[in-house]
Amino acid sequence: MISLLILLYTVLAVWLVLTIDVWRGLSKLSSIQEFSYTVQGPLLSVIVPARNEEDTITDSILSQLKQDYHQIEWILVNDRSTDGTPEKLEALAELDKRISVLHIDSLEQGWLGKNKALYKGYQMAKGDLILFTDADIIFKDPTILSRAVSFLHSQKLDHVTLAPNIRSGSFWLKSFVAFFLFGFSFYKRPWKANDPSSKTGMGIGAFNLITRPAYEEIGTHEAIKDMPDDDLQLGVQIKKHHKKQFFLTALQHLEVEWYRSLKEAFNGLEKNTFAGLHYSMLLVVFAMFGIFCSTVLPFITIFSASPPIRIVSLLIILFIGITYFKVIKQMTNESPLLFLALPVTALLFIYSIGRATFLTFKRGGIEWRGTVYSYKELKQRRK
């Protein structure tokens, strides 16, 4: 019982620090809608990779075509699709002369598919500014590009990344996504990207706006060609090269249905989970144990017969709740009441980490969009 109490006191101390850090950090974040804008500016090249995106690509591009920014070209890259995506892209190009379509039929050794598609799109791009975005993002506000470009220029930045609203259907999927963002916030500390003195870099696949000179100086996607978390790593490279970046929320301007079910969420996280833990079994065990002790155990020990254990458990849950509330209000459009499902979603997340790690070893690598990439090669290049 003494050892359990010591563990709980340690968890309480950790949550006290995390709560203060998250509240102070997220309070510094701003929304893109807070800033003024102009529709004038240099040519912007929007690059959209698409592999088997026939269900989402048309709605996404049509929403982008409503943007009020004047100087835009779109480069839609078909990355070896096996469904109706190529036809969808060609139909979109017929609608607007600003759209160009590039078809990729094969993948070179050492490259991940999406990374190669983004790089090929850049090679076609003519703009002084480049926006990398995904094929399922809905641009809900016609001013989002004008706002982002104006903000980048007014602040003399090299890179701006925006966090979209993640739309989910079922209660359990909402809870799972909310828990992911909860953990992401205190693990990655995205607000640190806005601090020039910090080495923390941030990139979101929904919206990575970068100047051409900065993109070329960091080595383009060739520098991260084998990294599954390409969006995040783009931001990391920006910071490594001492460039200026900024992270903002865009919950009213950008939206994505990340996954349609929990099963899809588990499958989707396969490529990033083990990579995010640097392909280290030690970090995997530490992460699973840490999540259980910090977000599941207190909900069990609160029913202990020992008053000290109950009190410490209650305090831990209180700090978890305070932190969770801040993250949900700042990073999503969801209800903080999802907190009621937190112990269960924490267990689901632990399962997703274990599942992703097991499948990586079983397959000998990660499977992403129908292609398997060697675990040994990915780990070697990650070092």
Instruction: Give the tens place of pLDDT for each residue, 14-41.
Output: 999 999 999 999 999 999 999 999 999 9
Q: Examine residue 136 and state whether it is found in any structural domain, yes or no.
A: yes
Angstrom distance (rounded) from CA 52 to CA 86: 9
What is the model's pLDDT at position 368?
A: 66
Whether the CB-CB separation of 72 and 46 falls below 8 Å is answered with yes
Q: Examine residue 188 and state whether it is found in any structural domain, yes or no.
A: no
- In the chain, DSSP finds a helix count (H) and a strand count (E) of 15, 10
Angstrom distance (rounded) from CA 26 to CA 10: 24
Q: Examine residue 194 and state whether it is found in any structural domain, yes or no.
A: no
Domain limit, last residue, from 256, 286, 319: 256
What is the model's pLDDT at position 86?
A: 97
pLDDT at 371 over 70: no
Pairing of strands 129-132, 159-166: unpaired
CATH no. for residue 211? 3.90.550.10
Whether the CB-CB separation of 172 and 161 falls below 8 Å is answered with no
262 or 61, which is more confident? 61
Task: Tell whether 279 and 367 lie within a shared domain.
Answer: yes
Task: Tell whether 337 and 323 lie within a shared domain.
Answer: yes
Task: Tell whether 160 and 234 lie within a shared domain.
Answer: yes
Q: How many CB atoms lie within 10 A of CB 199?
A: 11
Helix, coil or strand: residue 196 = coil
* DSSP H or E stretch at residue 367: strand 365-368
Q: How many domains does the chain have?
A: 2
pLDDT at 294 over 70: yes
Q: What's the rounded mean pLDDT across residues 366-375?
A: 66
Token pair for 330: 């700042």
What is the model's pLDDT at position 147?
A: 97
Task: Tell whether 236 and 288 lie within a shared domain.
Answer: no
Give 187's pLDDT tier (boundaries 50, 70, 90).
confident
Q: Residues 355, 361, 366, 370: what is their CA dihedral angle, to the nearest 10 degrees? A: -90
Task: Tell whether 324 and 265 lie within a shared domain.
Answer: yes
Task: Tell whether 73 and 135 lie within a shared domain.
Answer: yes
* DSSP H or E stretch at residue 86: helix 85-95
Angstrom distance (rounded) from CA 145 to CA 253: 10
Task: Tell whether 213 and 288 lie within a shared domain.
Answer: no
pTM of the model: 0.91
Q: What's the rounded mean pLDDT across residues 217-236?
A: 94
Residue-averaged pLDDT of the chain: 92
Q: Examine residue 105 and state whether it is found in any structural domain, yes or no.
A: yes
Task: Tell whether 117 and 211 lie within a shared domain.
Answer: yes
Task: Tell whether 241 and 97 lie within a shared domain.
Answer: yes
Angstrom distance (rounded) from CA 248 to CA 137: 16
What is the model's pLDDT at position 249?
A: 97
Domain limit, last residue, from 237, 256, 275: 256
pLDDT at 381 over 60: no
Beta bridge partners of 173: none
Angstrom distance (rounded) from CA 372 to CA 360: 10
Please give the residue range of the domain that contains residue 234: 31-164+204-256
Task: Tell whether 233 and 272 lie within a shared domain.
Answer: no
